[in-house]
Amino acid sequence: MSQSAEQPHAAHCADDLAAETVRWLRHLASERRLSPKTQDAYGRDLRQFLAFLTAHHGAPPSLKRFAALEIADVRAFMAARRAAGVEGRSLMRALAGLRSFGRFLEREGKGKLGALAAVRAPKIRKSLPKPIAPAPAKQLTAPELRAGEDRDPWIWTRDAAVMALLYGSGLRISEALGLRRHDVPAPGEGDVIVVTGKGNKTRMVPVLRNVLALIADYVAQCPHMLPPDGPLFVGARGGPLSPRIIQLTMERLRGALGLPDSATPHALRHSFATHLLSRGGDLRAIQELLGHASLSTTQVYTGIDAERLLSVYDSAHPRA
């Protein structure tokens, strides 16, 4: 669990409630196995809610007072956050975190938190992912795009390998940069890697031969030691590679290719899914490859494919 998640909320609640928040956050880390980012977000949302209740009622809430929450209290908090410019998706996450805390207290016999369950989740505007077209997605690893750069050749070889892995296997950037040296086979020794995704869940993902070749080129050129149990991708000084470095590389490349700002490293994951679907890929198989817990998360790509089909229809059909 992250250090910030361990901090009690004593400034905005009584000691008995502060102790329960710490126990809940530990539960999220050890039993629910939520990612550190989700733990931090849930903890931050709860701190904000407790601070709001302190101001709303004129005193820090105790465990007994918290267990007596009313629907009006929750709605007032959500309204205040929306007035502060917080968008629907963040409000939905905040409500999900508060409900998780409420369920934890109920399981522990610390009261009924029906008010949290009774409040309707805010509506959020659905936005489709913005994939990169196949041609520029393939060009991201082209050596000629990096001509004239004053960085060491091994660094842009590394970046090309990361980009190829994101697009070729549909990995999240955190998954790619979390790979250990022994996780990736050498060319000719295998074509599958085991990836650790959200919630420490593992899945098997195929890797294209040309992607393995790019990774092998990077390993051969890297001037730093890459022990089997150490990170595969390292920074200029040999430490773990920061996602920000890949994001900056993507900014340079999309400028060279004339791509929009939506062309981010994560857009390569969207491109992987969309291009598989457009070529007849099975939605269930794509769900497994992406590591989505729910098929509904993967189904967003069917909307992209439908848009593409409608676009072709509108441009080509004589009666369109």
Has 292 been annotated as catalytic?
yes
| Candidates 42, 167, 218, 301; catalytic one | 301
Has 317 been annotated as catalytic?
no
| Distances in whole angstroms, Cα of residue 317 to Cα of each of 174, 281, 304, 310, 313 | 43, 25, 20, 10, 5
| Candidates 9, 12, 158, 269; catalytic one | 269
Element (H, E) at 194: strand 192-196
- CB burial of 146-184 (b: ≥16 within 10 Å; e: otherwise) equals beeeeeeebbbbbbbbbbbbbbbbbbbbebbbbbebeeb
| Candidates 198, 203, 252, 308; catalytic one | 198
| Candidates 47, 81, 146, 292; catalytic one | 292
| Candidates 12, 158, 254, 266; catalytic one | 266
CA–CA dist 267, 172 (Å, integer): 10
Has 12 been annotated as catalytic?
no
Element (H, E) at 195: strand 192-196
Has 218 been annotated as catalytic?
no
Paired with 204 in beta bridges are: 194
| Candidates 12, 146, 158, 172; catalytic one | 172
The SS3 of residue 57 is helix
Has 301 been annotated as catalytic?
yes
Positions marked active-site:
172, 198, 266, 269, 292, 301
